[in-house]
Structure 1
Amino acid sequence: MNPTVTIIMATYNRAYFIVETLQSIQKQTYLNWECLIVDDGGTDNTREVISSILEKDNRFQYLKRPTTYKKGLPGCRNYGLDLAKGTYIIFFDDDDIVHPQNLEICVNELNNNQYSFCRYIREVFFEKFDYNYNLTKEYKSNIISIHDLEKVLKNEIPLNSCSVMWRKELFLKDRFVENLMYAEEWELYLRLLSNNIKGITIDKCLFYGRKHSKSNTGEYYLGNPIRINSKKEAIKLVVKNLKTKNLLTESILKHLIGFAISFRDTQLFKDIVEISKITFKKRVFLTFKFYRYPFWKFYKKLEK
């Protein structure tokens, strides 16, 4: 019997955290799943520490990323997508904790309607995790559609990499961009939503993300140039996709230009302006705003 859900988990030198993550998956109330653990060329003893789990539970598969896929999270996930047998796809990280009702609730939502994805709440924790789960099945829900594109883009409705269950068919045409080392899910999920799909969001926490400095997000906020440059590339891809589909509103463009301003990246600013093909008048206005920012920031500092 084929699994209903395929869990795709990329891993890289996470021997210290991954066992706790896999154990939380084993505690799922929904049983018909497979978990593809794709190792991105790690050098620690991950394989050894999870060996007993692999031997006792054949729903887990430990795989090495082939060289035909680029090194990194996107390449590992794309490899997992090519092997997935499930009707539904969910991406879990190798250092987090999954609520025991995660798969059960998401599958029920997607089985009972025509939605393309189910999004839920994701909370974060530091150090030790408190296993005091809220096991109620009562929660509020709303629809997410292309009309919420700007809210998703601005993270007002977060579509984190581990907070959504998707229908597998969505990935037949759209995949992760493998040269992105950060913001890859932000770029892909916006691309999927821009295809005019509809999902459901439920007001219940079903996933817990571990916060630590060695995560991709932690490295981004610590100024890692690889992560920051990847965010810049993702921004340009988002602008290009939305422009092509006539979805690049003035408000969205202003927000994306804001990244170039905050990065103080003249080339990123020029690239966004060029891709968006805005009018000469608007180009002049945005250019003035870009170069005015340091003076405005200095003035605000003095004002405080």
Structure 2
Amino acid sequence: MSTQKVWFVTGASKGLGLSLVKQLLAAGHNVAATSRRLDDLSRAVGTADNFLPLAVDLTTESSVAQAINQTIEQFGRIDVVVNNAGYGQLGSLEELSDAEARTNFDVNVFGPLNVIRHVMPQLRSQQSGYIINLSSIGGFVGNFPGFGVYCATKFAVEGFSEALAAEAKAFGIHVTIVSPGYFRTEFLTSGSLGTPANPIDAYQSVRESQQAHQEQINGNQPGDPEKAVAILIRLADEPNPPLHLFLGQDAFDTATGKITALQQEMTTWKNVTTSTGFDAPALA
């Protein structure tokens, strides 16, 4: 580790967030970490002079602003922001209610936007900083039955992160979108995965996907979370970190499959695509 940094990590009481905080503290970094419940965070991490646990409702701007301010008061600056908090939402687009969909967007999309909005003034004033936004392979590939709303939230994260990278570049601020595949965390447990209140039996593929994720994939994910967070820490020392980083062989293979299929489809339909200009020849 080249230099000691100040990290601000959301969703730190379990999963990748918890592993990240523990590794950061062990390496001597200053860490402010958030959770909805302070007791859960303090119990999971413990206490240390370089650790600031914060109870934060990421969907409430005032709560986020207070957490950012407390971090700056405690440590004097913020070097790395990790928007990790979020949860999965199962259910077909038809069976999920408006409230279920909006709640997933509130946490997964508007939560990190609140953090970005309130941390950017500090990063701009420093003329430096690094924002890591946790997406998912489901933010790049959406063909997972029953995960349409969740994928939509992560597609949104990828979209605003690309724009943020372009906007923040002039201030010396880097942005990376991290898109993990399946890692062996609590993500597929009931506390981190919402299920539809009113399931529709006709969606056999969704029910099969739900059963597979909850009963077969959960606990058998191929990814090691400790290796994943070690990579996140390494990224913060890179002078030119990537905009997109897929984590896991499964994520790499799935992304490669989509890119290949998209290229083939674009080639097949190129004549149609390019036929719409005023000067383009008409299709036969």
Q: TM-score, normalised by structure 1?
A: 0.30
Q: TM-score, normalised by structure 2?
A: 0.31
